[in-house]
Amino acid sequence: MKKRASLHNLGCKVNAYEMDVMEELLEAAGYEIVPFDEAADVVIINTCSVTNIADRKSRQMLHKARKRNPEAVIVAVGCYVQTGGRDRDADLYIGNNRKGEIVSILSEYLKLGSTPKDSVIDVNAPCPYEDMQLGHISEHTRAYIKIQDGCNQFCSYCIIPYARGRVRSRERSEILKEAGRLARNGCREFVLTGIHISSYGYDLRHPDKKPMANCFEEEELMELLRELDRLEGVERIRLSSLEPRIITADFVKGLTELKSFCPHFHLSLQSGSDSVLKRMNRQYDTEDYAGRVELLRKCFTDPAITTDIIVGFPGETEEEFAQTLAFAERIAFYEMHIFRYSARKGTPAASMKGQLTEAQKAARSDRLEELGARMTEAFIRKWKGKECEVLCEEEKEIDSMRYMTGHTREYLKIAIPESSARPGEVRRVRVGDEMKDGFVHGIE
């Protein structure tokens, strides 16, 4: 009988991509993949360690897996393992840059009964990019493609450079090969993702240089985008979270020349206070950030600008938080992803003075969420009555009615009523009123 394996993912889109690849590898090796809540011989938890809360969730999920499958081999994979996390509920530990070897590592464990010594390597030492190829996707229209790993920025609150190591870029030919295969299988939209994609290609172009925090190589990323843009079947390209400093006149001009590029820019801000940005070890200030947003709005018509903001960073005063509120309103984001600061052991910020209470962080988060909701409504109002293209993705029921739903290039969520459209088709619609669950009415 086939061995049964189940997988559960925690964390970011990079983790999700890597879990999809691990699932394919296990299936190719003869494992039957079953839902996480079913009995399995092997249970794999792809862990996250971005905050102490993420560590706790990883431990809780490992415990849940053990409770549901007391006789199974419980495998802890990823960032929690890489940063030293060990748990009594896990049998086998596999770190980052070793996920692609999950089948052989698991096979060795089943023979020896113990974790192989090379299943967790030092990713902070020089190591190559671990190429993982995705053969198919569960979604029929959109695929995430991982193009790099690691980060050299060392923001004071972040453990990820220690969990993922230094910047390592995927060879352009391998990215194009994967994208071409997925496009032939019907995928129409591609989202380039990684730990710090603004650094893509620096190590390829400068293999002998010491990794630095300001290691951007815009032309290397731009050349990748140009080649993807020329691939048959690639109708849309998106970029995941970008470092603000990569937004230069030359880079933006290059983006405007790509027929498939989607003007949706996720520029991580983290704080609208210059003094907080300095404590965070972010390498820009608010005026620099605002200038780059202004450049995007000059070159694109109503682009979607989204961001991440951390509230309650150590020492954040009421005045500094007020500066963040005012700056966010000035920029007029489409969406903000708001996080309450969570101390991560092993980072400089965890030992900083002036740690705020959870009540203080919650109150500030609520105020920023209210502003975010108003800005989202304002962005949608700007689009009302305009025509746009929607890539149809799936049917949904909203208020007892069936709709074909999808996204515009600016990532507005559109619901088209009584449509004959099928997933993968592009339809032109006029933007109507906002609906529930973040959807906007699309009128054909």
130-182 pLDDT, tens per residue? 989 888 776 678 999 999 999 999 999 999 999 999 999 999 999 999 999 99
Average pLDDT score over residue span 30-47: 96
CA distance 260 to 52: 39
pLDDT value for 114: 79
- DSSP character at residue 48: -
Q: Is 304 helix (H, G, I), strand (E, B) or coil?
A: strand
CA distance 186 to 432: 29
Architecture of the structural domain at 122-262: 2-Layer Sandwich (3.30)
pLDDT value for 58: 96
Average pLDDT score over residue span 62-91: 94
Strand order in the sheet with 92-94: 32-33, 4-9, 42-47, 73-78, 92-94
CA distance 143 to 66: 32
**Does residue 217 register a pLDDT over 90?**
no
Sequence letter at residue 311: V
pLDDT value for 139: 65
CATH 3.40.190 for the 387-443 domain, yes or no: no
CATH code for the domain defined by 4-112: 3.40.50.12160
Share of the chain above pLDDT 90, in %: 82
Per-domain residue ranges of the chain = 4-112, 122-262, 387-443
CA distance 411 to 413: 6
Q: Is 123 helix (H, G, I), strand (E, B) or coil?
A: coil
β-pair type (413-417, 92-94) = unpaired
